[in-house]
Each structure stands twice: as C-alpha cells, then as structure tokens.
Amino acid sequence: MKLRKLLSLSILGSLTGLMLAGCATSNAAGEDGHSTTLRIAHSLAEDHPIHQSITQFADLAHDNSDGAIGFEVYPNGQLGQERGTIEMVKSGLIDMAKVSASGLESFSSSYSIFSLPYVFQSKEHYYEVMNNSEAVQEIFQSTRDDGFIVINWYDGGQRSIYTADKKVESPADMNGMKIRVQESPTSIAMIKAMGGAPTPMSFGEVYTSLQQGVIDGAESNETALTNSKHGEVSKAYTYTEHQYVPDLLIISTNTWDSLSTEQQQALKDAAAISSESHIDVWAEAIDQAILEAKEMGVAFYEIDKQPFIDAARPLHESYQSQNADYERYFKDFQSYAN
C-alpha cells in the first residue's frame, strides 16, 4: 500500500508539472495548426542517441501527417522514471514513452522474452528477429487491453558486465558479486544463474552505488561508461553480451484509437524510418563510447561466453514451460538464428 501510494503521488506530481508545461505549449501548437499534440517521455539525456532518434520520429510524423500532429518531447526523466511513465501512458495521462522492454515485463510477462539471456545469439540474429518476427508483433499488440501498444523498437545495444577492476570469465568469477540489474524478474534470475547477487535499482543510483561499493558491478552497454560517467568508477568491461534488450516506443491505446487511419500510418512510417536510421547512429555512438572509455582507463575484455550460455539454459526451459504461446515465441525467435 505504501509503495502504491508513493507511486500515485509521484505520478500526480509529474502530471502537475506536465500540465503546467503543456499550458505553455498547447497554444503554440494550436497556432501552428496542429489538430493533435502528443506528449512523449523518456529518461535519457538529450545528447543520447535514443533521444536524437525520438526527435527524428517526431519531426517525420509531423511532416507525414501534413502538420496535423505536433509533439512535445520530455527527456531526462522530467515526468518521472520509467515505471511511472509507463503507468501514465497506460492511464492516458501522457500519450507516448520510450521504455526498455525489461521495464514492460512487470506490466505483462509476455515481454519477458526480450530479457532472456542469450535468447539472441548475435547482433545479426537480434536484428532479424526484431525486424521480421511475427511473434514480436504479436507481443507488441498483446497489451492493447492493458492500455498501450508498441509501435516500434530502437536498438539499445548489447548488455555486458562491468566492474571496478575485475574481469569475469565464468559464473565462478561472479560468485558473491553484487551486480546492479534492471527491475526485471528475468534479469534478476539471469544474474543469479550467472553466479552473481542481483541488486535491482534505478539507473540514476548506479554511479554513486559503484563509487561507494554498495554494488560491485553493473550490466549495460558501453554508453553507460561515458554518458553516465560509470567509467570513472568502473575500469573493467567484460563482453559477456548476455542480453540485447530493445528500447520500445509505446503509445496509449486511447491515443492510438483517437487517431485516424492516416495518422496512425504516419506514426508507423515515421517510427520505422527513425528505427532504421538509428542503427547507424547507435553504431557510431558505441564506437565513440569505447574510445572515450579507454581514455578514462577502462579495459575491455573479450571472453569465451559458453560458460554463461550454459548457465542461462535453464531460464530458456523455464520460460517455454509457462505456456504454449511462450514456447511458440521462443521457437520463433530461434528460427531466425544462422
């Protein structure tokens, strides 16, 4: 009850700020001729590649709709952290949000497949599944009655383990290590299977927790070392490459249903173009992050991932055993592997 009350207060506070900000921009939108202004929230900084791609999506969708749809983008967690923005999209308090697939797992377990370790065997396999799988599209539409659907995805990179100074080559090396994970049941089970002690916390707490030794390490892509300065307190990045978790663009069911067929298509087309161009933007960002992290003194380690893959296998079996749909999703994903 206390957690629910705190969450409600957080959403109310964020909504109050949104309404104040919206009052200042809604008139301007009207003067520009927008018949609809959609609000998009995410928790990343304005210099992050994802924000750049979200901005591109908004510009393209505005043009595709002949100016009928305007957008207000709220980065930097202005409207709250990820869980809060998902709640606001579900209830229709805001229209859209960029969230991690792992964050949606708490709202619908169908999204947990994206957090399964080594469900994607490579970056190429990941792209094939996300762009072509009917199971992915089925999952994206499965939460319509829960208040939102997914209209596209963005590459969030591979996730690997980074620590203060320790290379991890096997689950035995992670024994007893407190590793920060996203607040995802699957990610928690993953770190346990990989030998570590999972410690869920918000991303904003990670730097201080690493600095103070509250946690021994974390897992994310290379941009965390630079954009979030984690490379100042973590000097060993081991390519376990245990997850490729996509970032997803969600929209309120109420908002989606209020749009005309033409406007819906304008959003779909804009999302598809921005997602495709994001691949190159992301690749450049990763290359730059690695260069900057090395200048910060971070060492990067390539390892034989097989011990971690073997440790994760029971999670695959557990996922498939839940129901026939999940078994079908898993097999569909694996059908795209080389």
Which H or E run includes 77? none
Domains and CATH numbers, the chain: 2-110+121-155+247-286 (3.40.190.170), 158-244+293-334 (3.40.190.170)
What residues have CB less than 8 Å from 104, skipping those under 6 apart?
86, 111, 143, 248, 250
Q: How many CA atoms lie within 13 A of 230 on its CB side?
A: 33
Tokens of 315: 């999670």
Residue 294 to residues 213, 223, 236, Cα–Cα distance (Å)? 22, 12, 10
Q: Is the C-alpha dihedral spanning 266, 100, 157, 318 positive or negative?
A: negative
Q: What is the mean pLDDT of residues 272-290?
A: 96
- pLDDT for 29 beyond 80: no
Confidence of residue 284 (pLDDT cuts 50, 70, 90): very high
What pLDDT sits at residue 33? 52
**What is the tens place of the pLDDT at every residue in 107-154?**
999 999 999 999 999 999 999 999 999 999 999 999 999 999 999 999
